[in-house]
Amino acid sequence: MKTLYLDNAASTPLLDQVKSKMFDVMTDCYANSSSIHFAGVQSMKEVEKARELIANSLMASSEEIFFTSGGTEANNWVIQSLCLRRDPRRNVIVTSKIEHPSIRAPIQWVQDNWGMEVIEIGVDSNGVIDLNELKDALNHKVLFCTLMHVNNEVGSVQPIREAAELCSKLGIAFHVDACQSFLKLPIDLSVLELTYLTINAHKIHGPKGIGALYMRKGFELPALIRGGGHELNHRSGTLNVPAIAGFGKAVEIQKSKPATFNELTDNLNWLASQLQVEFPQCVINSPQLNRAPHILNIRFRGFLGKDIFWALNKAGIAISNSSACSSNKMTPSHVLKAMGLSDEENLESMRISIGLLSRKEELQNLIHKLKEIIK
């Protein structure tokens, strides 16, 4: 059975050139990158090459990029380390109602265990935060603000530039989870007043288990993982050189072909229009404008999302009936609830997400299969 993968917001398949790079590094760069002999130096050269590629893609300095095991670790690092060294007069965290679980869970933990106060900013029907509400929430009691750049369920793009300016005026640290936007939307850290930024590899056709945290110079965080003092004493643990090299290669490939994401946008817009033409019951939950180029959240009135999900799965088509981290739970999405959808509308919803390897012919196959399911 020919399969079709349309769950790229959860994870993306490796590009062939990334596979080749990782295989070569696994074969040739087997030494510990912390070792000072020639073999260790060879491994470290691969690490530093990837670090520079990632830094350049963000218009940052390579000294500001620190490797982690993924986006979840980077997000936890920011939240827990900032709270550990907080000024007692700054005991408030500002975030939004639509954040990823890797933000929501550690915030809940520091709230329960360290008595942090949390303010969640609401969103409109397009899943975009209210900047006036954010402005009202920010004051000298706020320790930091954390917002995602692109929502992983509906693809709404948050106004991080404006939010960064508001935080900067009050000297508030500002963290952005950019795992869904990295290389898909412009991020220029030479002009954005961000303090911390989270990215990972497996959303950009790189390997799983590797991510990075950008820390602006002068705002370095204390280590959350202690040990041998790797990553300039900021994050201990033997570096995963093949994964880091694969991360760098994925960045290098995509930065060399900037027009690729125009095709991604065109394909998603085509899919959205075709769904509405072919299915009168189809409602687009994602914003019509100012959305990420790869995520489309939809619902079919009168049909449970899980039923369509399983029918497509049986036909070899992979989508998501919620965010991947909670896809085994039939509970309404906190993101769609924040956008004002009822529980019934929420449970009708599903997410289609495309990637660099998605083709329009494949999206046409999705339309054909949906016609068989929705009668």
Q: Domains of the chain (ranges plus CATH)?
A: 16-255 (3.40.640.10), 258-373 (3.90.1150.10)
Q: Rounded to two decimals, what is the model's pTM? A: 0.95
Q: Which of 83, 167, 282, 325 is catalytic?
A: 325
Residue given tokens 């360290």 in the structure block = 114
| Local confidence pLDDT in tens for the 375 residues of the chain | 789 999 999 999 999 999 999 999 999 998 788 888 988 888 889 999 999 999 999 999 999 999 999 999 999 999 999 999 888 899 999 999 999 999 999 999 999 999 999 999 999 999 999 999 999 999 999 999 999 999 999 999 999 999 999 999 999 999 999 999 999 999 999 999 999 999 999 999 999 999 999 999 999 999 888 888 788 778 989 899 999 999 999 999 999 887 777 889 999 999 999 999 999 999 999 999 999 999 999 999 999 999 999 999 999 999 998 645 555 556 899 999 999 999 999 999 999 999 999 999 999 999 999 999 997
The yes-or-no answer on residue 179 being catalytic is: no
Q: Beta strands 282-284 and 295-300: pairing type?
A: antiparallel
Find the distance separating the first CA and the last CA of the chain, reported in whole Å.
23
**Amino acid 207: pLDDT:** 98
The alpha carbon of 26 is separated from its chain's Cα centroid by a whole number of angstroms, namely 27
What does DSSP assign to residue 2? -
Give the number of other Cβ atoms within 10 Å of residue 235's Cβ.
Answer: 23
98 φ/ψ angles, rounded to the nearest 5 degrees: -120, 25
**Amino acid 328: pLDDT:** 57
Give the number of other Cβ atoms within 10 Å of residue 37's Cβ.
Answer: 9
CA angle 178, 5, 319 (to 5 degrees): 75
**Amino acid 329: pLDDT:** 59
